[in-house]
């Protein structure tokens, strides 16, 4: 499947969105782990003798980053190393503004997390930041193709029993936005890790703080009001 879809048009209107479920990325969306991640990948590159890691492609599974930089015979070793480094990195990882209140307002069956972390790393970071375990958690271990492929978001929608087109995907990275778009979801880009110009999402916000979610007027689904961009 070609996941390099054309950028989604940006909606001019800022009205509420109706949805059956909300699907969240983890790193950069619900938690801030950007600096911690970059420190780990720089150390990884140093230990493997690869020199400067350069700009890290946030939102992409570690196995894909490793495959792009390491020869096949060393990939298992390299992947195990970055996993150890990231699991051990417990400083500089915090929940983002407004996230705790937003998640607490959602019915458990109406939201999921789709992350490029492994299950072990996701568990560590969620525990550190107090993010509750959702009813559906899709990790890098759960899918054969990571973002920008839509497999993770399609799996999350299926796990919640909803149509992907009736979901809203919240993402901070171009690969994640592309995955949400390719899944047929409505995407909301969150700036911080990348600027708005890098995020091909119909809606762009600077923060989830102030996002309001209520039951739809007809009693089914959710009505989501986003903060100003």
121: Cβ contacts below 8 Å, ≥ 6 apart: 83, 86, 87
Catalytic option among 25, 32, 149, 172: 25
Whether residue 8 is predicted with pLDDT greater than 80 in this model: the reply is: no
Q: How far apart are CA 30 and CA 223, in angstroms?
A: 20
Structure tokens at 150: 């839509």
Map tokens 């699907």 to a residue.
23
* Highest mean pLDDT (candidates 7-21, 41-55, 159-173): 159-173
Per residue in 178-191, pLDDT (tens digit) is 999 999 999 999 99
Task: Quote the pLDDT of residue 219.
Answer: 67
Can 97 be counted among the known catalytic residues? no
Task: Quote the pLDDT of residue 9.
Answer: 39
Per residue in 112-149, pLDDT (tens digit) is 999 999 999 999 999 999 999 999 999 999 999 999 99
Note the pTM of the prediction, 2 decimals: 0.87
- CB burial string 165-180: b at 16+ within 10 A, e below: ebbbbbbbbbbbbbbb
Q: Out of 36-50, 124-138, 172-186, 208-222, pick the least confident.
A: 208-222
Catalytic option among 27, 32, 149, 172: 27
Per residue in 64-91, pLDDT (tens digit) is 999 999 999 999 999 999 999 999 998 8
Can 172 be counted among the known catalytic residues? no
Task: Quote the pLDDT of residue 229.
Answer: 55
Distant-in-sequence contacts of 129-136, Cβ < 8 A, 24+ apart: 129/30, 129/31, 129/93, 129/94, 129/95, 130/95, 130/100, 131/26, 131/30, 131/31, 131/95, 131/99, 131/103, 132/103, 134/108, 135/108, 135/109, 135/111, 135/159, 135/160, 136/112, 136/160
Phi, psi of 199 (to 5 degrees): -110, 110
Residue 3 DSSP one-character state: -
Topology classification of domain 17-33+93-225: Rossmann fold (3.40.50)
Average pLDDT score over residue span 6-34: 78
For the chain, domain boundaries: 17-33+93-225, 34-88
Number of other CB atoms surrounding residue 10 within 10 Å: 14
Q: How far apart are CA 178 and CA 190, in angstroms?
A: 13
Mean pLDDT over the full length of the chain: 90
Whether residue 213 is predicted with pLDDT greater than 80 in this model: the reply is: yes
């Amino acid at each position: 499947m070609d996941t390099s879809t054309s950028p989604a048009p940006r909606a001019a209107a800022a009205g509420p969105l109706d949805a059956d479920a909300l699907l969240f990325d983890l790193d950069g969306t619900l938690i801030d782990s950007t600096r911690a991640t970059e420190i780990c990948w720089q150390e990884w590159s140093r230990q493997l003798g690869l020199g400067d890691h350069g700009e890290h492609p946030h939102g992409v599974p570690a196995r894909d980053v490793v495959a792009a930089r390491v020869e096949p015979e060393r990939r298992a070793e390299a992947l195990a190393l970055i996993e150890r480094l990231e699991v051990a990195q417990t400083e500089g990882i915090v929940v983002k503004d407004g996230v705790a209140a937003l998640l607490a307002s959602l019915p458990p069956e109406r939201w999921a997390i789709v992350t490029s972390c492994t299950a072990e790393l996701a568990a560590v970071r969620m525990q550190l930041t107090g993010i509750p375990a959702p009813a559906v958690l899709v990790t890098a271990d759960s899918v054969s193709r990571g973002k920008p492929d839509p497999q993770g978001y399609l799996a999350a929608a299926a796990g919640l029993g909803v149509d992907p087109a009736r979901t809203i995907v919240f993402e901070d990275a171009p690969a994640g936005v592309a995955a949400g778009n390719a899944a047929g979801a409505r995407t909301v880009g969150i700036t911080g890790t990348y600027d708005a110009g890098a995020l091909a999402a119909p809606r762009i916000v600077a923060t989830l703080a102030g996002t309001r979610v209520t039951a739809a007027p007809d009693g089914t689904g959710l009505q989501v009001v986003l903060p100003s961009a």
